[in-house]
Chain A
Amino acid sequence: GDSVTQMEGPVTLSEEAFLTINCTYTATGYPSLFWYVQYPGEGLQLLLKATKADDKGSNKGFEATYRKETTSFHLEKGSVQVSDSAVYFCALSDKGQGAQKLVFGQGTRLTINP
């Protein structure tokens, strides 16, 4: 079945450092890809998404590009802030009528030190 693999955490960086969180997927067909963020004590928030190959999703300085050839959707940010500390989840879903089930990676905990 479909699956998502994320780089192991936790990841600790200093403020203003460059961030990359790797994500690769296995799926039949061409799924939609997502990055969700979970702040302490809260539910998941959609950070960005891409629905087809070579699409780039971006939001709040974060970017990820849908790479079909490498089945990857790596999350990047040029200069992280303390407020970016959270758990980040990569996810995929099949396309279809309405929202299809999401398949998540195991999550990567990010801590940014001032």
Chain B
Amino acid sequence: DAGVTQSPTHLIKTRGQQVTLRCSPKSGHDTVSWYQQALGQGPQFIFQYYEEEERQRGNFPDRFSGHQFPNYSSELNVNALLLGDSALYLCASSPRSGRSNEQFFGPGTRLTVL
């Protein structure tokens, strides 16, 4: 059973560019959450998708947007990149139904903005 997968592993962009990161959830999971982890910090919640809609959002600007597809996979898009967007971007999946509130994390995509 594959866990949460993310692509690409690493990415280098320049200021002002746009980037798309991808995530495939664990089998049986229908909810995807995205987090940003700056170097030496804890992850910060960006947003969560369920049934192809954004359900919760953290304190991130509109430059950060997302999408969820019918197969539950998800994309994170960041426009007009800033140096401060350099971070490890983590995707986490979970089942909407049931009593467990555990989230399973992928290995992350490391984004460097030059």
Contacts and interface: CB of A to CB of B under 8 A. Distances in A.
* Most chain B beta carbons < 10 A, residue from A44, A45, A100, A104: A44
B96 A101 contact: no
A43 B102 contact: no
Contacts of B72: none
A97 interface: yes
Contacts of A102: 33, 35, 43, 45, 92, 103
A101 B106 contact: no
Contacts of B18: none
Given A98-B97, A101-B58, A106-B41, A42 B107 contact: yes
Interface residues of B: mostly helix, strand, loop or mixed?
A: loop
A46 B101 CA distance: 11
B48 interface: yes
Contacts of A46: 102-104
Interface string B40-69: 111111001010000010100000000000
A43 to B, nearest CB: 4
A35 to B, nearest CB: 12
B96 A43 contact: no
For chain A, the bracket of interface size reads 20 to 34
Interface residues of B, number: 29
A88 B44 CA distance: 15
Interface string A27-54: 0000010001000011111100101000
Given A43-B108, A44-B43, A106-B41, A101 B101 contact: no
A93 B31 CA distance: 15
A106 B103 contact: no
B96 A98 contact: yes
B90 interface: yes
A99 B94 contact: yes
- Kindly list the 7 A-B residue pairs having the minimum CB-CB distance in the complex, ordered from nearest: A104-B42, A99-B94, A43-B105, A98-B96, A44-B105, A101-B45, A43-B107
Interface of A: 4, 32, 36, 41-46, 49, 51, 89, 91, 93, 95, 97-107
5 contacts: A89-B42, A93-B101, A98-B94, A99-B94, A107-B41
